[in-house]
Amino acid sequence: MSEITNCKTGIERLLQVMKRLRDPEHGCPWDKEQTFATIAPYTIEEAYEVADAIAREDWPDLKGELGDLLFQVVFYAQMASEQHWYDFDAIAHAMADKLERRHPHVFAEGEYQSHEQLHQDWEKRKAAEREQRAQKRQQETVSLMDDIPLALPALMRAQKIQKRAASVGFDWPDVDGVFEKIHEELAELQQAMANQSAEEIEEELGDLLYSVVNLARHLGVKSETALANSNDKFVRRFQDMERTAAQKDRSLSEMNADALEQLWQQAKRNA
């Protein structure tokens, strides 16, 4: 324990704590049995909790959530070190190398011309990195879609896919084409409903959602953020309905459709 308490920095202490937790003889049984695959869901959960603390502007809570997220990286680094692949220090150096490589206008001789030029240069460097990774994997072709994570939320992943496709000109020239596509997909969904085919309905509904995400991208809106905001707005209004009903000693389940609609309209006015 003295080795841990004598650490000079917080990260050194955290790394030592993690090493102790994974110690084959004296470590924690739960931590010792974890793998990269079993920890991954926790990492996603912790990232969402960081985002939640930021959305709530709860800065004291954010400190703890950032610590939880950092712990995930430390956990992966310890497991990788046990396999003699790399350690936390190597991960940090690799990230620093990437940042310096992608920001020549800050760290090298590159010149800042415009935000658009920076974006183009950034995409070129990312494309070169994708090609290098493809060569290491001995892929015959390099795809723009190669490094879009499968685990991303569906709306966010759809927007990234569309952005990549648009980078080579595969895109609607203006928002009018997107609106036409939405109407087309809506008609196809209605036809699938008429056919009473559950598989077809799911497919067409997915196509409709994908087209709506495309509209968000053309309008410069992040679809994931837009839907999250709408979720929060609905919850606020619904809770307002519950409070109003409770003040009248009633529950929402006791009310008919007209009464619920009146409460909803009142909640919208209160928002």
pLDDT value of residue 5: 64
CATH 1.10.287.1080 fits 2-102, yes or no: yes
- Residue-wise pLDDT for 152-164, tens only, equals 889 999 999 999 9
- Write out the DSSP string of 131-164: HHHHHHTT-SS--TTTTS-TTS-HHHHHHHHHHH
Same fold? 2-102, 154-221: yes
- Residues of the chain with pLDDT below 50 are none
- Residue-wise pLDDT for 81-114, tens only, equals 999 999 999 999 999 998 888 888 788 776 667 7
The two tokens of residue 62 are 């954010």
Domain range annotation of the chain = 2-102, 115-146, 154-221, 226-270
pLDDT value of residue 112: 67
pLDDT value of residue 110: 64
pLDDT value of residue 3: 63
pLDDT value of residue 150: 86
Question: SS3 breakdown of the chain: % helix, strand, coil, rounded to 5?
Answer: 75, 0, 25
For residue 252, the 8-state DSSP code is G
Architecture of the CATH domain 154-221: Orthogonal Bundle (1.10)
pLDDT value of residue 2: 57
| Cα separation, 43 vs 270, whole angstroms | 38
| Cα separation, 259 vs 241, whole angstroms | 10
